[in-house]
Chains A and B, each alone.
Chain A
């Protein structure tokens, strides 16, 4: 628990075939886990584009979780192949831009793996809690912003 009671906001992109049902199973099994993650169901983890992740950070997420099927189990055969290449690249890029890469995490969670879903979500929530609010890291930019709305 952080000193000032900071509760991280986490956006989770969960694939429709594996991770989202896995999360559902955790719920129906009444396993407790932190409520900080807002799940967004996508058809495949491969559908999660870098702009979706970046927009999530911009919208106020302190952490972004991308969850999909294990390699070999993707409903679309190789959708998650793209994910496993894309996410490490994006993590590195965030690091180059000065945003802690640990704010973005990739995890494979199958429809039967409710305990794994809980473990990943709990771990990630704690990681992001330790890192603090992202807005602290990008606070300076607000000064530079000038709105030119008509």
Chain B
């Protein structure tokens, strides 16, 4: 009996990509070269030993860009759980055409799930690997309700004072695709102030991300000032679930609740007005 060699996770992914490369015009994944690791579109004939899965980039943004630039292009993508969640929220908002994309999903490692405090470290379209247990929630988020309002304010003032307004959080986010961004609008954010006005600058993004944040953690990874943005966004995600029963990136058929009527997406709690 011939035994199949046991493949590592990335080798398993390369094998699936090789088998499915011809189903589309290209497969979006990370590529390692002498210049480092960057997003790439693998085509037939490319050296798949260069395909990598880390460090993570928000690859769905590449799909979105190419789908919009080339209306006929069909793509595949090597995707983690967060990539697939990003896909679902982008597809709902017509940024990606689901009919022109197939997903080669793979599971994160247990360490990765813990690092990201990820509640769903594997995609629904899981083809390679086994889903690890979900990472524990961020302890700051878990204990947040115990903080007094003064403590919370002091916490964020200390954090936001470091902000250099690089817009990295906005630029890297797969769900930030607005052509006119409220964070750049002088009507709301006074230009020329560093640190940016508290708490306007960061709270605008937190509100705009409320129904979109898929907890990919790219914003926090890209922040040069190491601001724990995901704490704020995790709290918004918690509210989305409590108030509207909505978890971004899980259900393609659930409409974005903040944009639709109460009949289409009802409140789960009574709101006094």
Contacts and interface: CB of A to CB of B under 8 A. Distances in A.
Nearest to A144: B161
Contacts of A147: 192-193
Residues of B in contact with A, size category? 35 or more
A51 B204 contact: yes
Interface string A96-131: 111110000011100000000000000000000000
Contacts of B198: 138, 141, 144
Q: Which of A77, A78, A87 has the most CB of B within 10 A?
A: A78
A146 interface: yes
A145 B195 contact: yes
Interface string B182-225: 10010110101111011110111011101000000000000000
Given A71-B262, A89-B239, A108-B273, A84 B267 contact: yes
Contacts of B157: 98, 138, 140-141, 144
Given A51-B182, A51-B200, A88 B243 contact: yes
Residues of A in contact with B, size category? 35 or more
A144 to B, nearest CB: 4
A98 B207 contact: no
A92 B28 CA distance: 38
A84 B262 contact: yes
B273 A107 contact: yes
Given A71-B262, A85-B257, A96 B194 contact: no
Interface in B35-50: none
A148 interface: yes
Interface of A: 49-52, 54-55, 57-58, 71, 77-78, 81-82, 84-90, 92-100, 106-108, 137-138, 140-141, 144-150
Given A89-B236, A89-B240, A146-B193, 8 more contacts: A50-B207, A54-B199, A54-B200, A84-B271, A85-B267, A89-B210, A95-B149, A106-B271
